[in-house]
Amino acid sequence: MSTPRDVEITVGYPALPGLEDRLEKRTVKPAEGDAAPWDATTKFTTIGTDVDRVDGLQKASGRAKYTYDITFPGMLQAMILRAPIAKGKLKGLELDEASRMPGIGAVVALKDLGAKVRFVGDAIAAVAGTTLNHVRDAIEKIRAEYDLEEHNVDYVVATDAPLLSATGQIEEPWAEAAELEAALKEAKVTHEATYRTEVQTHSSLETHGGVARWNGNDLEIWLSTQATFGCRGELAQACKAKGIDVGTVTLHAEFVGGGFGSKFSAGIEGLAVCLLAHAAKVPVKLMLDRFEEHTTTGNRPGCLMQARAGVDADGRIVAWDWRSFGHAGFTGSGGVSVPNYYTADAKKRTAHKDLNIDADPPRPMRAPGHPQGWFGAELFLDELATKAGIDPLQFRLKNDREAIRLDQWRFGAAKFGWDAARARKNEAGARFLTGSGLASARWGNLGGAGRGTPHGITCRIHQDGTVETRSGAQDIGVGTKTMMAIVTAEELGIPVARITAMTGHTTDPSGPASGGSTLTPSIASAVRHAAFLAKQTLVEIVAKHIGVPLSEVHCAGGKVGSGTAQLRWADACKLIGPNPIDERGKRHPNYAEKPFHASQCGAQFAEVKVDTWTGLVEVTRMFGIQDCGLVLAKKQAESQVLGAMIQGVSYALHEQRIMDKRSGRMLNGDFLRYKITGVRDLPRLECHMHSIANGHDSVGAAGLGEPPSVATAAAIGNAVFHAIGVPVRHLPITPDKVLAALASKKG
């Protein structure tokens, strides 16, 4: 049953309605012993169907245990003392009085004397006690003294920030570029504009933190994390650096309440809970509060962007010049990405500069740098198209160089009713104005085998017919367990209900972090390989039992056998004996042959209603089409896209961090003052999953966490531009900015 070295497959996808198919033959060379690749001709039973989350009932009923829910007898509660200054040095730290307070089990310093303080909220010390009230009282007794330095928390006036006009436009001269300048001069229509976005916090439902306990030198920790194995290694090294003799480290993250990019590191809170538990010699829990979440665990950085470009008489972009400036906190990256598929034939240039300030640095957040850049670039394209007298959709069809998205543009426009929406005219003097906009999405991740030891999966078939599929990687709420169960069920030919999927325990095989849309494409084929190996073992047992050649025995439809000699799955599993079949599959490298589609494409369409009296913007409906390679779990994939749209509405209209320049403190670090989208703010949402056979490994899944989050704010910004006839170039699009835009139009 070994896989042939050369396999012919069909890649691509059937025709979207009204369009031609994009199917073609390829020959690939799978690794020896791997399952034969699924392709565009494979007939699936479970893959791509609407399967409920396998852990949904556990979560809805409260039986799912998150880090926040973990408790032990005698466990202490902990908190962190944080710096009240934005910049300076720690010149004094007195912990003795706090350690003598009633109910206190441990007090540890987290910053050495003389160390720099880099932002309001920088961790100074941590305290563990029998209750949080005891801990709060003890923290009041800690004496910390600081040498203050002058600070700045506004990146637009940071060192090396560009010169801005009174209206917020970048006024610095562009660097010389002779060919680009010539292309701009020859263009029929040119345009130039400045765009800006604000800081957005992650706002995960479960805050950062952990529960730690030591057994001698062995550490066991429950952590709300996106990287079980990365954090395990990080904490082992950090504890050793503190002089602690560390044996084994076992990390639990069986259920995680979201991350969006902020939980790759254990953070200072993860180290603090380990140090406190070691000092107190009892379990300790340290979970951050909501203000700490907003102010100390990273964010999506804000940025300034400026573009200038020109189009020829045919509406094609011939020149493209882009520069951006990103808020990077006291250290980090405020990088910005922009679409490159519109400018393939243009003279082009892009430049970026990070601007450091005395604030919490950014962390990755769902497509780092893309939502910011796409907002600026896609709104700029609409302005340029309008100036050239071209419909925004037709402008993109002329300039987009990705064939798959060209199909998506046409399909999405038909589903959304683009032509009718753009033709609809607002009455002169009407209070409410409607408009429609669109924007593209892009990401690129087909997964990989991992460095060193390949990512692995355990598949265990028990005598009673139940099956386990296990990964040490985490499921941060996106449906990884469901994906694992679906792939296993498809390979074994049995119902999903027979399968238990387990994630987030580092004693199981390793997997990647949940970031960059890497997890599913990196472990899906390992899940299949493990099930494939376990199936082979079961088939050998059944073939011997029923007396038929091994090659004639198959697993399908809940049965195992050949022809009329079929055993029900449960009966076949009775032949296993008391020890289960236990196989470990691995993630083989991607095929050497070029895949059909090495990235992900998408397009989103939005309709808005603008109240010209109040400036309020309401998103009324949205449609998105998104590919992610082979769609494995349709319901969960749609949830990813719709969830990205919801976050995008929030980013476009509501979210912004407000800093007090004098103190350096965030003024709206709670959900009372930090507005996120609620149920009454939501539009009618619809998405279409565009399933594509990429032909890059045995499954063909591609990343999905990032790409649908790229387009939403840009599509909404373009819809507002269409509604009111003047662009709002600064996110979030709040009433004051809308009213100012309307006033500028009148002026």
In tens, the pLDDT along 170-180 reads 999 999 999 99
Residue 128 has pLDDT above 90, yes or no: yes
Of residues 343, 522, 557, the one with CA closest to residue 445 = 522
Same domain, 607 and 693: yes
Whether residue 90 lies inside any domain: the answer is: yes
The mean pLDDT value for 619-639 works out to 98
Give the pLDDT score at 2: 52
Same domain, 112 and 223: yes
Helix (H, G, I), strand (E, B) or coil at 116: strand
Q: Are 458 and 530 in contact (CB under 8 A)?
A: yes
Half-sphere exposure of 527 (CA within 13 A, CB side): 36
The mean pLDDT value for 359-376 works out to 97
Whether residue 743 lies inside any domain: the answer is: yes
The mean pLDDT value for 374-390 works out to 98
Residues 6+ apart with CB under 8 A from 633: 51, 479, 482, 483, 486
Give the pLDDT score at 1: 46
Helix (H, G, I), strand (E, B) or coil at 196: strand
In whole angstroms, how large is the CA radius of gyration of the chain? Answer: 28
Whether residue 535 lies inside any domain: the answer is: no
Per-residue pLDDT tens over the stretch 140-161: 999 999 999 999 999 999 989 9
Residues 6+ apart with CB under 8 A from 595: 11, 446, 694, 695, 696
Of residues 263, 203, 204, the one with CA closest to residue 657 = 203
Percent of the chain whose predicted confidence (pLDDT) is above 70: 99
The token duo for 334 is 């405020």
Give the pLDDT score at 452: 85
Same domain, 287 and 369: no
Residue 472 has pLDDT above 60, yes or no: yes
The token duo for 288 is 């951050």
Alpha-carbon dihedral angle through residues 499, 250, 104, 72, given to the nearest 10 degrees: 30
Whether residue 267 lies inside any domain: the answer is: yes
Give me the count of residues in the chain: 747
Per-residue pLDDT tens over the stretch 677-696: 999 999 999 999 999 999 99
Residue 602 has pLDDT above 70, yes or no: yes
Give the pLDDT score at 324: 98
604/664 Cα distance (integer angstroms): 37
243/279 Cα distance (integer angstroms): 12
**Local confidence band at 329 (pLDDT 50, 70, 90 cut-offs):** very high
Same domain, 10 and 74: no
Percent of the chain whose predicted confidence (pLDDT) is above 90: 97
What does the buried/exposed string (b/e) look like for 488-501 if buried means 16 or more CB atoms within 10 Å of the residue's CB? Answer: bbbbbbbebebbbb
Give the pLDDT score at 4: 56
Same domain, 163 and 113: no
Domain count, the chain: 3
Give the pLDDT score at 286: 98
Residue 95 has pLDDT above 90, yes or no: yes
Same domain, 102 and 224: yes
Residue ending a domain, choose from 261, 292, 323: 292
Whether residue 518 lies inside any domain: the answer is: no
The mean pLDDT value for 633-651 works out to 98
- The single-letter code of the amino acid at 484 is M
Residue 383 has pLDDT above 90, yes or no: yes
Its pTM surpasses 0.95? yes
Q: What contacts 24+ positions apart, CB below 8 Å, involve 163-171?
A: 164/194, 164/304, 168/194, 168/196, 168/729, 168/730, 169/193, 169/194, 169/306, 170/194, 170/304, 170/306, 170/323
Domain assignment of residue 746, given as a range: 1-19+403-446+592-747
3-17, 134-148, 271-285, 347-361: the lowest-pLDDT one: 3-17
309/266 Cα distance (integer angstroms): 43
Of residues 511, 516, 453, the one with CA closest to residue 483 = 511
Give the pLDDT score at 42: 98
143/393 Cα distance (integer angstroms): 62
Same domain, 211 and 198: no
Same domain, 187 and 216: no
Same domain, 185 and 314: yes
CATH number at residue 741: 3.30.365.10
Same domain, 658 and 720: yes
1-5, 236-240, 420-424, 641-645: the lowest-pLDDT one: 1-5
530/547 Cα distance (integer angstroms): 26
736/615 Cα distance (integer angstroms): 7
Count of CB atoms within 10 A of residue 90's CB? Answer: 22
Complete edge-to-edge strand list for the sheet that includes strand 565-568: 554-556, 559-562, 565-568
Residues 6+ apart with CB under 8 A from 573: 461, 462, 463, 464, 465, 538
Residue ending a domain, choose from 268, 292, 316: 292
Residue 76 has pLDDT above 50, yes or no: yes
The mean pLDDT of the chain is 97
Crossing angle for the helix pair 370-388 and 392-399, nearest 10 degrees? 110
443/62 Cα distance (integer angstroms): 35
401/399 Cα distance (integer angstroms): 6
357/293 Cα distance (integer angstroms): 19
Per-residue pLDDT tens over the stretch 544-578: 999 999 999 999 999 999 998 999 999 999 999 99
